[in-house]
Structure 1
């Protein structure tokens, strides 16, 4: 498909999982702020879960399909997605075709970032292993910037059975249960010894407010001062995704997708991986609390989130697989199915012979 940007929205960028493997050379990762939303949307339309989509922030774009047909799904925040004026809920796969208009009316519930995923993904140049937009370096995506009016972009090659994904609806039970009043889980360190006991207690017991300066690089938080035991500065070292830095003023900064590669402020804790997306969906003015968990519990929570993605894979596979008539039993179906065979295929004009055998 080809799509034209009629209105760009507040901040709409091309993002995938990010530009991993180059931090040692000074290149930030970038990528989707809510990785679960990106990955789940890709699964729902039959893409590789790492494919690029549009990250839509608060006020979404208006797009026109100028060529072709395919599918689309919106995941993450409900920002009022509609096709030709018909409103569609999140996590429902819809068909889009030439002449259709896709738009967003604004926030309908919790969350600030939606992911508009198309079958085949967004086809922009791959730079250092990623299609993600890193705005500060004007790198990746569409010319290293947010979408603007008049842009035209294409989608990639969709799943061979892409039409079968139309109508799939992911149940809420298959998605993370995020609540605004839930504390964000953190693993303490790596420099939690740079804070007094009182400072640690403040961090874990007090409520902080997301400031107006929150962006893709990091969320600055405002609240009670977190007390250092000595100097706030250290010799610069690596900044993991979800790190919470405490500069000399004692106010936390949660480092997110566009974070710099190294920094010299003490890091009191690191967000549990599933809660990074939960924070990224919150808006300036909303509240944040933290809860200490063990490294083992953080690993278990991350595995649980990956299990949710596996579950969505299974739901999608069930949806696209033709269901046999209810009058046939499973054993009858298998008895009537050949145990082996041969297919002749032509791919790009080249003939291929494929032999297959059913393994029970």
Structure 2
């Protein structure tokens, strides 16, 4: 349910006072008749969505501050994480980005633009963390109807699959150096954000790693991964085990390696799974297909067949590719088309200039056809 008229009016009045403005000065700044603003603040007229956006912009606050149903005394997960004294500037930047995405989600939800809510049920864990991760990956594959089939190789296609089948939002964008990705679950939003500045195989593993955090419930408090391979806490061990099992299902591996591992099989599996040679070597060892010596031999392979395997060019192309969280984008476009939000929230999501986006979204003006020209000539 959206915030009530009375609560919204109270929040706007408080924001006007906090900013040291008057109702008259604010009305002039946003181009609204002073009487209309007064009626809205007195509860006898509804605020229009565009008016709320302009008020928030001119008072230096977020629309989520005005429209959120949640208690303002409860900080968002990213806000709570940012409040820690040891947060680095790079990490703070990533947290601010997650804040803005969560803010947009809440705004769209309050305005009535729903979505297929994330369908990840929190599991009951049994056994050590690596076993928990593998079991969770198997369960999630079954629930998503994937079985042991190969996942889409292209990161954009894989992201779309996760968004459609699990209700997640997946984005790839430049994150500060040293950050591989982050995940957040709040208010029905399940978000995985991956750095586009790392190798494609690492992007893929990081996406699966963040999915592991979301599926395990770790991201209820927001999880930021500065190095998905570097930390050895139980949560990180579980997320890494999940990623390996989700990307490289044991059943698919055993079917591909019935009588021992050859270089040809390694090349084929790398092309199918889209992972690094190290990740594949450890996975083959962990499922018992090779021993420790065999794992190390695979890790040391360096032939041109491996370097130039199928999909290698696509991997190199994927570095620095950007992708906006798909479900958020679809909902934002719908809200904009219906006149419920201005172009600014969409521009912030896409990280583009609002004026450029407005020009792109505005239908082009049609010039009248001179009477001496026959329009049929141009339809051939």
TM-score of the superposed pair, with normalisation by structure 1: 0.25
Which structure has greater helix proportion? 2
Q: Which has the larger radius of gyration?
A: 2
Which structure has greater strand proportion? 1
